[in-house]
Structure 1
């Protein structure tokens, strides 16, 4: 007889021990559709939906521009690494509940010994876990729904949402932007590539048809992990040759962010002086983002991989359907070019933020470094509060900004971690949920004062204890 094994036993037991989620305690407002709108249904959007529910905050909605779950997030789309770049032991969307963790999920399916054998989490396993997490916790996501404009009102936001080619308006009191690496800016494509025909160039954030590159000559610009992952994917798809061009004369190999990866620095990062936070961000940028050793090994095993160091592209043009490039005094011809050059931060570049981008306090508005430590890119990051909320450039001109929480990498300079990735979840998700709870509670303090003063019926009367009341001998006589 076959024995049925409940692989989700630990997860079910965890929820059972937690008990049911609290009832929604946030008073309804006429004309308000959502207490919180979460933009992005990936790993953090789902984690926020669960955490807000456990905090008793109802009327939370999650939207995602992707057509369906398989196209949402990065893990089955533009992420091309074999393994996650972070340690497998980090707290993720489970929020400190072991039964909902990746380890519990993985061991239930593949065994504890298998978990011990993996050094980092395989990307596709992580995607499977996130799908399970979403389905197991029954997180509802409205796919095919894009936020195109946030319009501030006196007490809420009017949200212009696009779905199926038409736009409609919904309202919300709070917004959490879980919209990925381009959520406060966009993909950075070097100027030298921007004049080339679109069919000859892609950014690593794009959906690239790597099978079409079979037998082709491919150029990849960039020296960090995404560039190496795109290079490896092209080589594994059968590209004829792939040349990777890095501006640095040596590859970045020192993960300087590990110097602050301990609880004291992590937990108290927002309390550091601005000068120290700026210095940390600048140190990281100048040291360079490192590709994991296995990402480098993945490409160097191919004889048709060629690495160019200190190689800045001087010019590029289209010639007979190919790219003709001048790089460090050499001429090259390629069939296709991929920009693995990261992302820029600029809230004004996002149409949904256009109504108020000029009011957002940026790091360049708040902190002035020395001339030798200035950096325009870092200065363009929003200067966020401890709950990752936007702050006003001029006090009193845009008080609604504190109700928009930025859970994407634009928070890096402020938070010290790549916000939206696993390292940010343990500290920042609870902080944002606590702030949302506090703001919603205090906004309705008069109503809550009445509720706190409400009559509470007694559970028993004097008859329950009358027979046991002590009576002294005098009274007995």
Structure 2
């Protein structure tokens, strides 16, 4: 674990806390008894792809719901799952320390319980914000404490629909293999939606060694270099801060607007009812809200801005959209919309992400069958990127473009980035877990139950046994039969 404030976590206390969590689950009757009939000729009831906080929380929720034969896989090595030790570059989480996370209402598995056990109650009270790597340590502990088994180094390469099941094609350690499942949960974050967005201006004009997306770049390798950052939201400022701290000679951040966005259009969304029930609004209402959010730029958090502006060699360029990019010596020459040139050694793109489930490589066999929002609402040209997001059902299940052509899509539950258009808020964020995971788990359980209707009916209608009340429990109190009285008497 990462030491915090020169303190060593109390591993004995954390072991006791994990044991307490197991007792808590037993106390509320959620020890994981499996009610799902064994699937005949199928390996798993559910496969969860992705073992970051969303995938772990989904697996935990499925077990608590009594759904067994759940397998979790992740392409990363242990400890490398999710974003916290990879693409995330903030020093502290943007989420306050109070909201619940993957523990789904079990206090003994919460971040607060973990932190207090590891470092003390007073340390938690004094903690102003959660350091990113401390949160990563907590997620690692949660995986162990919740006893969630993960097969690391396993990559999903193809999803092949078959009658009554999905055949999953995996790769691991240089070998390929297949397994079957009844349900599939995609907790793959950005990757499940097509990955980082690279503007054609850069992608088509420059060699790959001269640019990188904020999702994946080596700040240390750019020490002493002059770097141009495109974008003015949180990830762009996080990247700038990381570059400056790693020793970049200069960092120049370019924003299209005349000023930085200074408020959040999504702030009114932050109440329990919206989190829980936005998905139940009519399509027209959800689309209007998401267009409203998208048309207003995301603002960079104050800590991210202060982190970058603390360096004298950081510069913000407003009203400075890029018109062209070209090779210039060993670096890049950018042309701004004003026509002014700007030279840099390297480009970092804070340009957001694609939001299209059809671009997820394992879906290639049936990608056109996945309904997008463009199939449900009238779309203006400016909204085409937003409209490419998958149109999801209430349990995060994929939906068919045309009814009847791909019913198996209802067996794929999409807890990845671009689910946001259907749900109203980013899917996979810490605060989303308490709302999204139970809804997805309930939908999976409901469909499994209904699919096994005949087996459950046979169970319900089976002859009633006599073992629940042994006759000897009441035999001594039985009275002799009362003699019958004849009519003459």
Shorter-chain TM-score category?
over 0.9
Alignment of 1:62-211 (within 5 A): 62-66=72-76, 68-194=77-203, 195-206=205-216, 208-211=217-220
Distance 1:32 1:130, change over 3 A: same
Structure 1 position 311 matched with structure 2 position 320: yes
Q: How far did 1:420 drift?
A: 1.1
CA distance in 1, matches of 2:55, 2:347: 33
C-alpha contact 1:177 1:408 (8 A) present in aligned 2: yes
Structure 1 position 444 matched with structure 2 position 452: yes
Distance 1:462 1:182, change over 3 A: closer
C-alpha contact 1:8 1:108 (8 A) present in aligned 2: no
Q: How far did 1:423 drift?
A: 2.2
Match of 1:25 in 2: 35
Q: Find the partner of 1:254 among 252, 263, 268.
A: 263
Structure 1 position 286 matched with structure 2 position 305: no
Instruction: Note the residue ranges of structure 1 that are not aligned, 5 or more in a row.
Output: none
Match of 1:13 in 2: 20
Alignment of 1:260-339 (within 5 A): 260-327=269-336, 328-339=338-349
CA distance in 2, matches of 1:32, 1:5: 41
CA distance in 2, matches of 1:151, 1:426: 31
Q: What SS does the corresponding residue of 1:417 show, helix, strand or coil?
A: coil
CA distance in 1, matches of 2:476, 2:321: 93
| Deviations 1:107-151 (CA, angstroms, capped at 9, x unpaired) | 111222222222332101100000101122221111111111111
CA distance in 2, matches of 1:338, 1:6: 43
Q: How far did 1:342 drift?
A: 0.8
Distance 1:4 1:77, change over 3 A: closer
C-alpha contact 1:8 1:105 (8 A) present in aligned 2: no
CA distance in 1, matches of 2:481, 2:39: 58
Q: How far did 1:71 drift?
A: 2.2
Structure 1 position 385 matched with structure 2 position 425: no
Q: Find the partner of 1:236 among 223, 228, 245.
A: 245
C-alpha contact 2:169 2:179 (8 A) present in aligned 1: yes
C-alpha contact 1:182 1:343 (8 A) present in aligned 2: no
Q: Find the partner of 1:396 among 388, 404, 418.
A: 404
Q: How far did 1:465 drift?
A: 2.0
Q: How far did 1:30 drift?
A: 3.6
Q: What SS does the corresponding residue of 1:344 show, helix, strand or coil?
A: coil
C-alpha contact 1:246 1:311 (8 A) present in aligned 2: yes
| Deviations 1:15-47 (CA, angstroms, capped at 9, x unpaired) | 213216233222223431111111111111111
| Deviations 1:46-68 (CA, angstroms, capped at 9, x unpaired) | 111111112221111111111x1
CA distance in 1, matches of 2:88, 2:472: 69
Q: What SS does the corresponding residue of 1:202 show, helix, strand or coil?
A: strand
CA distance in 2, matches of 1:411, 1:393: 16
Structure 1 position 245 matched with structure 2 position 236: no
Match of 2:3 in 1: none
Instruction: Note the residue ranges of structure 2 that are not aligned, 5 or more in a row.
Output: 1-9, 485-489
Match of 1:342 in 2: 352
Q: Find the partner of 1:433 among 418, 434, 441.
A: 441
C-alpha contact 1:417 1:423 (8 A) present in aligned 2: no
Report the TM-score when normalising by structure 2.
0.91
CA distance in 2, matches of 1:426, 1:470: 58
CA distance in 2, matches of 1:9, 1:264: 36
C-alpha contact 1:254 1:287 (8 A) present in aligned 2: no
CA distance in 1, matches of 2:103, 2:71: 19
Q: How far did 1:167 drift?
A: 2.1
CA distance in 2, matches of 1:425, 1:4: 26
CA distance in 2, matches of 1:198, 1:375: 28
C-alpha contact 2:392 2:399 (8 A) present in aligned 1: yes
Match of 1:422 in 2: 430
| Deviations 1:169-192 (CA, angstroms, capped at 9, x unpaired) | 211110000001231222101112
Q: What SS does the corresponding residue of 1:36 show, helix, strand or coil?
A: strand
C-alpha contact 1:392 1:398 (8 A) present in aligned 2: yes
CA distance in 2, matches of 1:153, 1:57: 22
Alignment of 1:454-473 (within 5 A): 454-455=462-463, 456-468=465-477
Q: How far did 1:220 drift?
A: 0.7
CA RMSD of aligned residues (A): 2.1
CA distance in 2, matches of 1:291, 1:35: 42
Q: What SS does the corresponding residue of 2:191 show, helix, strand or coil?
A: coil
CA distance in 2, matches of 1:292, 1:431: 30
| Deviations 1:193-242 (CA, angstroms, capped at 9, x unpaired) | 11211111111111x22222111101111111111111000000111000
